[in-house]
Structure 1
Amino acid sequence: MNIPSVGSLFLFFLVHVASAQQPIHLIPQPVDVQPQQGTFTISKTTTISYNQPKAQAVAAMTAQQLNTPTGFGLNAKSGKKGAIQFDLNATPNPKLGKEGYTLDASSKGVVITANEPAGLFYGMQSLIQLLPKEIESKKPASAAWTLPAVRITDYPRFAWRGIMLDVSRHFFSKEDVKKYIDEIAKLKYNTFHWHLSDDNGWRIEIKSLPKLTEVGAWRVQRSGHFGDRLDPKPGEAVPYGGFYTQEDIKEVVKFAQDRNVTIVPEIDVPGHSMAALAAYPELSCTKTPVMVNPGTAFATWYGNGTFKMFQENTLNPSDEKVYEFLDKVFTEVAALFPNPYIHVGGDECYKGYWAQDPGCQALMKQLNIRHVEDLQGYFMNRVEKILKAKGKKLLGWDEILEGGISPEATLMSWRGIKGGIEAAQMGHDVVMTPSTFAYIDYQQSDVDPPIYAMLRTKKSYSFDPVPEGVDAKHILGGQANLWTEQIPTLRYAEYMTYPRGWALADVYWSPKESKNWEKFVPRMEAHFDRADVAQVNYSRAVYDAIIKTSQKNGKLVLELDSEVPNLDIYYTIDDTMPDAFSTKYRQAVELPEGPITLRVITYRAGKPIGHLIVMSRDALQKRAGR
């Protein structure tokens, strides 16, 4: 009789306990996670099966995802006995809805159950995240392909979970767009808002209006900070840009559908139309030819949110040819995108040229309106009738409220949540996407190149799309917006998206009650490691010090903090480089007079973890005056 030694029994106990306590770091956080005893290991003999033809695509996608890093060559087959089993419910489980799922992993295998294929797809994403980070590799990798035993019940809080990508300011290739959609689908986002037109480029082929892409898709080459660039010169070449053919659009739409992502196209009107006017200047009030803007300063912004344009970028609401033009555009756009919505922008529309235009003045008199702002309401109602004729619903930014919109119109609240609250109280459906929480083009810390404002991951994570006193039935969900004035490449788009896109995935999917920043941090850090393997870029700005200053009793006072808990913060003001032997921050500090320079760095467990931040006294003084 072979009696195991005490040492081997103790080792078995440690391994058993370790496997039972293996951390589960899923994003977004599921509704209910119940860890169980044991593990399941995927091998080359593992079988994958599905119980209905509608489940085949998800099962096949799972096999493909597993095969690349493991090299196993697994196949999905019809049946009910797979070690990894995808089952559609014969009788729907009302708790799960259309996108929910259950995942039951034991030492025998994994069973994922859902009412609809979308639920199986999201169950698959959780399955992949339960496996070691090497599962994200794009080539064969070495790992123990083991996942912990667990029972998960999961379904989304909101039906609309979106990310917008602006491809006007910088053109992103079809393959880049597909890669970005694939990444967000893994996080259970189900809506991709595609910002296809603006002042800086028209990106979608309209066959009945060929100059939109022949002219509107191209601009002069410029470098430097957006808004500070040199104006185009007459006759200058326009090599920068690009557009999507209608065949490209169909390919991307199909790719997204396969990942349960709905694409919502945006054609931004009546403002932000300089690229369209470059192609067809007769649609403006002045009829003056313009060029596609390369990122010059073509407006002056005042502190109260108002502005003045130096160049015309608005369509003429009094010209019937404008509506003929839009009918052609939306006829072709509606045919390409099967979702119910077309986003028509409506934001930041400068009305100064309307106020001076005889045709607009005559229209105002005809409509018996006194304020030029009300012309936008007229314009939007005309646009909505065009969309309705195509079987589409109007969706726009919160400015569309200002001129009056029909009860069927849906609104995206971006200037804070005020517009969303007003729209919901009026009975409109609303997507909450306030810049203060969801504009992921904003700086993530003081090391990022400067842009309009700062938005830290912790603040994004704190967002609740349902304001107090608002009926939740009118809040469709939320969305992150990635404007690309300062984002020329997909790698940098990823850097700006993550980890804020991970935080907002939790906000839009997970129960409000489960929100806990301290518990999110280790999940985020696990996804840093997974993103490294997947070759997806991200920012580590969450580790950077937060620098705050104030004036108290004539003194400049410094306060330091961090998003990630339990970091040590070290600083110097004596022109030396800070390290773990420098002054450790413990409480607010009165800074001495004189031309000092602050240098700050964060450490964890004795190792530097954040970026070095350097700030002059003048910069600190300005920060105190905010």
Structure 2
Amino acid sequence: MKKSFAVKTSIYLLALVFICPIIRAQDKPAIVPEPVSLVQGKGRFVINDQTSLILPSGNAELARLGNQANEWFGVLTGHNLPVKSKATGAGNSIRLLLNPELNNPGNDEGYELSVTEHEVKLQARKMAGLFYGLQTIRQLLQLSAETNQQHSLPVVEIVDYPRLKWRGLMLDVSRHFFSKDFVKKYIDDMAHYKFNVFHWHLTDDQGWRIEIKSLPRLTEVGAWRVPRTGQWWSYTPPQKDEKASYGGYYTQQDIKEIIAYAAERHITIVPEIDVPGHSLAAIAAYPYLSATGYNYPVNPGSKFYNIDDNTLNPADERVYAFLDKVFTEVAALFPGDYVHIGGDECTKNFWQQSAVVQDFMKQQGIKTEHELQSYFIKRVEKILKKKKKKIIGWNEILEGGLAPEATVMSWQGMQGGIEAAKQGHQVIFTPSSNTYLDLYQGDPLLEPDTYDMLRLKTAYQWNPFPAGIDSTYVLGGQGNLWSESVPTARHAEYMTWPRSLALSEVFWSPRGKQNWADFQTKLIPQFKILDAAQINYSRAAFDVLATVKLDQEKQLLVSLSTDVDSLDIYYTLDNTNPDPSSVRYNGTPIVIPKGIYQIRAQSFKGNTAAGKLLIAPCGELEKRTR
């Protein structure tokens, strides 16, 4: 089976070599993210039995990084490099050097890499910089292997440092639970592309995934729901006496192990405990937490908003005692500065219907439910501040007044972040239209079911620095993988890559170095790297997308496009499969005559198919005009 998969992959990649839409500059390494400066020379540095790894003695952290580097070199070249404290006369060498005097504006994460035919010299002011420089070396080795120049590096001079301080990816493990091993693999893949924040969405309506020893029912009850397969929000609600058998959680020992694993890769983990909304799993475990006090099951993905009360009661002191216990254990586990407290999509109608909550508002002089949520968030901030943690919340925490020291993660467009920055708060931009990795990557007829679209090109061309604000308040940017429609680890990878390749470049590379045409030429080489790592990824950028509208006579007009440039699109209206002898799409919307059943379209490079065959029934396309 593995052999069959490998053969199919080889055939596919061989085909892609010929269909790659743009010829990359001769021998220019297809590094992602693009370095700040890359000057290429002539010749190559060859790793062989005479190559040594030079590390200054007496630094335990540097020694550990050297061991890690040697593991990578061993996998990529088959050579286990002898470690020395200084170079000797024989052979060539790879030298890692901490240099506090390095004049690099990237500070802790910048590096300089010099490759000659005889020496590789990687230096940085901090360990993080050396780690990121090694990721570049790994890519150079992988890219060289794909061009039949195995075990060698091109002669090159690179100066590199990040554009943004916060370069994050979020994984939602509440809607579907992902194993500890997969989380570690996901972190590994992030590190390869210089992401440095793993946002871990640990709690929501569909599951509580973190062990809290003082509140055992959170995982005994809240981590499990009835099993369902199908389309999210269409599931049948839990039935009487049905066993909640689907789910899982991370023990505190699991979490410590994952945190240590991430720290070795210079990734900070930010846990999210989503409150006061999105709390049904917690309420299922402890019903007193909601204003209604009802016994609810953990939601399996059936419709429940404004039916079941998934909101914590801000008028009940027991809620704050509960949160103090939760955050005491969370703060003790996670060494980073931040805890994400959610704050999004908090329904207010159960507060409005509660006499207790309404009396509390009158007593406190709180006029609106938005102000009541602000009161709640400010109380949570005080709890976390006592534990020496800073809060981050989704942009809804702006409603009713922002907590004094809160950082805002802006997902509903850019405006919430702009407003927070104007108020003097740090901002992480993560607008759903540019960074939500759970959305369609291509035409819905070709892609697994979800609800909206984010194309590779749209992700790449986004700028996380909006006009009109002080850029010093922009802490960074983040891609988010919500998992309502992502039930498996393989599909999580498919939705993450290659759009996270695009985001890594948006977050790391200078704006002037970001070039969509150039990035497209990196896709095929990077796909080979992803294949070698056994990462599932999407090729939707090569597929045809159909967009539609109606003309004044109510005739259907269909436009066809691909993300990748320089591909030809051929189509048919007679239910046959198109090829280069069919009608070539010329960019003008196609008028679909009455009675036509479907349009079929496919992208080609020359005579070679580039993307999947799109079969679009006209009835389905007409739905898109509504």
**With structure 2 as the length reference, what TM-score do the two structures score?**
0.92
* Partner deviation per Cα, 1:371-420 (whole Å, 9 max, x = no partner): 12211001001000000000000100000000212331100000010101
AA aligned to 1:220 is V
Q: Tell me, in whole angstroms, the C-alpha distance in 2 between the residues paired with 1:132 and 1:373.
A: 52
Q: Tell me, in whole angstroms, the C-alpha distance in 2 between the residues paired with 1:388 and 1:167.
A: 26
Q: Tell me, in whole angstroms, the C-alpha distance in 2 between the residues paired with 1:406 and 1:35.
A: 50
Shift of 1:131: 1.2
Q: Does the Cα contact within 8 Å between 1:134 and 1:533 map onto a contact in 2?
A: no
AA aligned to 1:345 is G
Of the candidates 411, 418, 423, which is equivalent to residue 421 of structure 1?
418
Question: Is the alpha carbon distance of 1:422 and 1:516 closer, same or farther for their aligned partners in structure 2, counting shifts above 3 Å?
Answer: same
Of the candidates 36, 52, 62, which is equivalent to residue 41 of structure 2?
36
* Partner deviation per Cα, 1:51-82 (whole Å, 9 max, x = no partner): 26142222221110111243322243433667
1:406 paired with 2:403, answer: yes
Asked which structure has the greater RCO (Cα within 8 Å, sep 6+), the reply is 2
Report the number of matched residues: 592
Q: Tell me, in whole angstroms, the C-alpha distance in 2 between the residues paired with 1:71 and 1:431.
A: 41
* Partner deviation per Cα, 1:495-516 (whole Å, 9 max, x = no partner): 1001100000000000001111
Q: Does the Cα contact within 8 Å between 1:465 and 1:477 map onto a contact in 2?
A: yes
Give 5+ residue unaligned stretches, structure 2: 1-24
Shift of 1:533: 1.5
Q: Which runs of 4+ in 1 moved over 6 A?
A: none
Q: Does the Cα contact within 8 Å between 1:50 and 1:79 map onto a contact in 2?
A: yes
Match for residue 10 of structure 1? Answer: none
Shift of 1:133: 4.6
Match for residue 7 of structure 2? Answer: none
Match for residue 559 of structure 1? Answer: 559
Matches within 5 A, 1:536-575: 536-554=535-553, 555-575=555-575
* Partner deviation per Cα, 1:405-449 (whole Å, 9 max, x = no partner): 233110000001010111011111000000000001101011112
Q: Does the Cα contact within 8 Å between 1:30 and 1:155 map onto a contact in 2?
A: yes
* Partner deviation per Cα, 1:334-377 (whole Å, 9 max, x = no partner): 00001110000000001111001112111110121221221100
AA aligned to 2:249 is F
Q: Tell me, in whole angstroms, the C-alpha distance in 2 between the residues paired with 1:264 and 1:77.
A: 37
Matches within 5 A, 1:29-428: 29-51=34-56, 53=59, 54-79=61-86, 83-133=93-143, 144-299=150-305, 309-428=306-425
Q: Give SS of 2:377's match.
A: helix
Q: Does the Cα contact within 8 Å between 1:132 and 1:147 map onto a contact in 2?
A: no
Match for residue 22 of structure 1? Answer: 27
Match for residue 585 of structure 2? Answer: 585
Q: Tell me, in whole angstroms, the C-alpha distance in 1 between the residues paired with 2:185 and 2:86.
A: 32
Q: Tell me, in whole angstroms, the C-alpha distance in 2 between the residues paired with 1:21 and 1:559.
A: 35
More moved, 149-158 vs 406-415: 406-415
Match for residue 483 of structure 2? Answer: 484
Q: Does the Cα contact within 8 Å between 1:132 and 1:143 map onto a contact in 2?
A: no
Shift of 1:518: 0.6
Q: Tell me, in whole angstroms, the C-alpha distance in 1 between the residues paired with 2:187 and 2:245.
A: 27
Q: Tell me, in whole angstroms, the C-alpha distance in 1 between the residues paired with 2:290 and 2:341.
A: 18
Shift of 1:615: 1.4
Q: Does the Cα contact within 8 Å between 1:157 and 1:511 map onto a contact in 2?
A: yes
Q: Tell me, in whole angstroms, the C-alpha distance in 2 between the residues paired with 1:346 and 1:75.
A: 52
Q: Tell me, in whole angstroms, the C-alpha distance in 1 between the residues paired with 2:143 and 2:523.
A: 13
Match for residue 461 of structure 2? Answer: 462
AA aligned to 1:153 is V
Shift of 1:146: 1.5
Shift of 1:552: 2.4
Shift of 1:144: 2.2
1:531 paired with 2:530, answer: yes
Q: Tell me, in whole angstroms, the C-alpha distance in 2 between the residues paired with 1:133 and 1:490.
A: 26
Q: Give SS of 2:182's match.
A: helix
Q: Tell me, in whole angstroms, the C-alpha distance in 1 between the residues paired with 2:432 and 2:438.
A: 9
Q: Give SS of 2:308's match.
A: coil
Q: Give SS of 1:624's match.
A: coil
Shift of 1:453: 0.4
Shift of 1:84: 0.8
Match for residue 495 of structure 2? Answer: 496
More moved, 210-219 vs 486-495: 486-495
Q: Tell me, in whole angstroms, the C-alpha distance in 1 between the residues paired with 2:121 and 2:102.
A: 16
AA aligned to 2:204 is D
Q: Give SS of 2:199's match.
A: strand
Percent of matched pairs sharing the same residue:
49
**With structure 1 as the length reference, what TM-score do the two structures score?**
0.92
More moved, 539-548 vs 320-329: 539-548
AA aligned to 1:579 is D
Q: Give SS of 2:250's match.
A: coil
AA aligned to 2:607 is G
Q: Tell me, in whole angstroms, the C-alpha distance in 1 between the residues paired with 2:611 and 2:425.
A: 44
Q: Does the Cα contact within 8 Å between 1:548 and 1:624 map onto a contact in 2?
A: no
Q: Does the Cα contact within 8 Å between 1:99 and 1:156 map onto a contact in 2?
A: yes
AA aligned to 1:83 is S
Q: Does the Cα contact within 8 Å between 1:106 and 1:150 map onto a contact in 2?
A: yes
Q: Tell me, in whole angstroms, the C-alpha distance in 1 between the residues paired with 2:86 and 2:250.
A: 41
AA aligned to 1:607 is T
Q: Tell me, in whole angstroms, the C-alpha distance in 1 between the residues paired with 2:220 and 2:416.
A: 37
Question: Is the alpha carbon distance of 1:95 and 1:33 closer, same or farther for their aligned partners in structure 2, counting shifts above 3 Å?
Answer: same
Shift of 1:234: 2.0
